[in-house]
Amino acid sequence: MSVAGTYDCVTKTPMGDQKSKFTINVDGDSFTGQNAGAMGSMDVVDGKVDGNNITWKMNMTVPMPMTLECDAVIDGDTLTGNVKAGAFGTMAMTGTRAA
């Protein structure tokens, strides 16, 4: 099964749980997409696909400018991953395929 799709995600942040819709558009061994939530949307940068494993970056602007480094494993319709936010450490990200 392809990792492509839209996932309803929750990221455990220092400001509480942040819900978002994470879209993955696969093209060979790379992907583009967007993570959109209450604090705005961030485009996927440098998205890579290796089987069920994905890695990507996002350039956050709110509440402060920062590059987030992300990785996840997609098992069926479940996404389990991490978002590394510099000095703020690593935050857990989970999701369920919506489409």
What pLDDT was estimated at residue 5? Answer: 97
What pLDDT was estimated at residue 84? Answer: 97
Q: How far is CA 74 from CA 53, 60, 78, in A?
A: 6, 23, 6
What pLDDT was estimated at residue 15? Answer: 85
CB 61 within 8 A of CB 41: no
For residue 92, how many other CB atoms are within 10 A of its CB?
13
What pLDDT was estimated at residue 39? Answer: 84
How far is it, in rounded angstroms, from Cα 15 to Cα 44?
Answer: 22
What pLDDT was estimated at residue 59? Answer: 96
List, for residues 70-86, the tens digit of each pLDDT value: 999 999 999 999 999 99
Write out residues in the chain with pLDDT < 50, as ranges.
none
What pLDDT was estimated at residue 99? Answer: 78
Write down all domains in the chain, each with its CATH number in brackets: 5-97 (2.40.128.20)
